[in-house]
A = this chain, B = another copy of it.
């Protein structure tokens, strides 16, 4: 339980109303009760507050007062994430190593960890404080895992990968599988190229369920701090994903492509290999990109072109049959005019 005053301090906001109001939980406007705090993103939706039974509401600065206590902030969406997280008050409770987990002989773990039944930890694995590892998860030899990292169930982390602090890896993800690389002989047979690199995942990264991040051929496949990767994403060998980049579900990135900071790739986007993206590049969902991109580029389409151009081409695309008909008519008319003028 927190007072409104305490919550207001968390988000650098201004409390209007009784700042001693006690708040126990967070809930959306429609379902919030008197002990809950809720949030409103846009001032234009202020009417929604009249029927709201919340104990308090986080609102944008444009709203100056209301019939119930409010916390005014610049970004209610952000403030609500911070306050919700605070109210959940998830304190790590170490459950130790479950007797039905498997730990290889040469691995020792700190006291403050939770390793679930049927988790499987290889040799010489280094596990940080307050790490949690789910059932069915398999950690290969010589893996390093930083403090406060959470690894859910049925994850596979292959040998030698390094995982930072406060990372979350969701169920079924596979980190450090071999990159897809073959040399083809004269008979058309493919000879596997050894993949002797590894994967480094920096602090505060999240990796979605059933996502795959391949190990490097040599060197590292590198996911930099704060990047958030959704479910079923494919990241090829030697890829670099820049700080705070967002990769939405089912994205695929081919080998050795490098992304800058705060790049955003929409769902199902595909990137070719060996590209270089600057910072803050944005790619529309479903696009395919074959060229490197300058910082700030906003692109879409298959293959991707600048967003503005793509939007215009898209609207024209549906008119293609009409254009075809118009063009045939015009050709006929011009031919007729030419005949006339030849007379």
A interface list, Cβ under 8 A from B: 26-28, 31, 75, 77-78, 80-82, 84-85, 88, 100, 102, 116-118, 120, 134-138, 140, 152-154, 156, 158, 168, 170-172, 174, 177-178, 180, 182-185, 188-194, 196, 204, 206, 208-210, 212, 214, 218-219, 226, 228, 230-232, 234, 236, 244, 246, 248-250, 252, 254, 261-262, 267-268, 270, 272, 285-286, 288, 301-303, 305, 309-310, 312-314, 316-321, 323-324, 326-327, 330-331, 333-334, 337-338, 340-341
Contact = CB atoms under 8 A, between A and B. Distances in A.
Contacts of A31: 218
A232 B212 contact: yes
A153 B317 CA distance: 46
B136 A80 contact: no
A196 to B, nearest CB: 7
Given A189-B244, A208-B212, A183 B218 contact: no
Contacts of A219: 28
Contacts of A206: 192
A248 B75 CA distance: 39
A252 B252 contact: no
Contacts of A318: 305, 309-310, 313
Given A309-B321, A316-B320, A261 B81 contact: no
Contacts of A320: 312-313, 316-317, 320
Nearest to A313: B320
Given A231-B214, A333-B338, A208 B180 contact: yes
22 contacts: A28-B219, A80-B193, A81-B194, A82-B191, A88-B196, A116-B120, A118-B138, A136-B137, A138-B154, A177-B209, A180-B249, A190-B226, A190-B228, A250-B270, A286-B302, A309-B321, A313-B318, A316-B321, A316-B324, A333-B334, A340-B341, A341-B341
Given A84-B194, A171-B177, 11 more contacts: A102-B118, A172-B174, A189-B204, A212-B232, A236-B249, A303-B314, A309-B321, A323-B323, A327-B327, A337-B337, A337-B338
A210 B208 contact: no
A228 B138 CA distance: 24
A171 B188 contact: no
Contacts of A330: 327, 330-331, 334
A314 B302 CA distance: 8
Smallest CB-CB A-B distances: 7 pairs: A156-B171, A78-B183, A138-B153, A316-B320, A286-B288, A174-B209, A312-B321
Nearest to A218: B28
A219 B156 CA distance: 30
A25 to B, nearest CB: 9
B156 A136 contact: yes
B154 A156 contact: yes
A250 B174 CA distance: 15
Given A285-B270, A340-B341, A191 B313 contact: no
A249 B233 CA distance: 10
Contacts of A319: 324
